[in-house]
């Protein structure tokens, strides 16, 4: 009886080792895919690198939360954290290929990406160009579940490929609560 258990234990041990070694084998690397949409992530990464190289930069922020409005001047900014919200709106993910309708072109100085489904977080992105460089990017995001609804409008403004202004407008409606509005408008002062 013990010999049978030892035989089966050895079999299960070998089978387990085989399964784990096969599952840990690196799979084929993902094939490079072409970016179909305007890359907000690339733009943000470039801006972060340029802004971090300017330590004397001053930013004027107008912040509105519910009914309270305040103005703040800030010179110590972690640009990666400050602009992270914009990078999350990037459409260039393999899973999003083909799920946005594209109207316009860079040559026409305006490109609009509109979601083909209402369950996508980024519902619309509009990019304005001047001489081939983006000058204004507006992103409409919507998130909805059983507990809350959120609508966010993100705006980036650039001049000569340099960030000049950015803004976030957000409305969040929680179940059984009133809607809460938040606005941030920032201008870079050289």
pTM, to two decimals: 0.79
CA 52 to mean position of chain CA atoms: 20
- The string of pLDDT tens digits covering residues 122-163 is 999 999 999 999 999 999 999 998 899 999 999 999 999 999
Beta strand residue intervals within 12-147, DSSP E? 58-65, 68-74, 100-105, 110-115, 122-130, 133-144
Residues facing 104 on adjacent strands:
111
Among the listed residues 73, 46, 53, the one whose alpha carbon sits nearest the alpha carbon of residue 162: 46
- 27: which DSSP letter? -
| Domains of the chain, residue spans | 37-189
Please state, in angstroms and rounded to a whole number, the distance separating the CA atoms of residues 113 and 101: 6
- The string of pLDDT tens digits covering residues 79-108 is 999 999 999 898 988 889 889 999 999 899
- The string of pLDDT tens digits covering residues 43-59 is 999 999 999 998 788 99
pLDDT at 163: 96
pLDDT at 25: 44
Please state, in angstroms and rounded to a whole number, the distance separating the CA atoms of residues 160 and 50: 13
Judge whether 168 and 156 are in contact, CB under 8 Å: no
């Amino acid at each position: 009886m013990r010999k049978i258990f030892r035989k089966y234990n050895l079999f299960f041990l070998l089978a387990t080792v085989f399964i784990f070694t096969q599952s840990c084998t690196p799979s084929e690397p993902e094939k490079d895919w072409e970016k179909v949409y305007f890359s907000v992530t690339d733009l943000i990464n470039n801006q972060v690198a340029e802004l971090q190289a300017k330590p004397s930069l001053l930013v004027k922020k107008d912040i509105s939360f519910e009914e309270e409005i305040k103005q703040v001047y800030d010179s110590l900014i972690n640009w990666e954290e400050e602009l992270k919200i914009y990078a999350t709106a990037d459409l260039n993910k393999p899973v999003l290929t083909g799920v946005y309708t594209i109207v316009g072109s860079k040559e026409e100085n305006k490109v609009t990406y509109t979601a083909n489904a209402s369950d996508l977080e980024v519902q619309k992105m509009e990019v304005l160009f001047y001489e081939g460089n983006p000058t204004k990017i507006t992103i409409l995001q919507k998130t909805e579940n059983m507990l809350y609804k959120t609508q966010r409008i993100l705006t980036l403004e650039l001049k000569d490929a340099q960030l000049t202004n950015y803004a976030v407008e957000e409305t969040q409606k929680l179940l059984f609560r009133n809607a809460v509005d938040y606005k941030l408008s920032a201008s870079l002062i050289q």
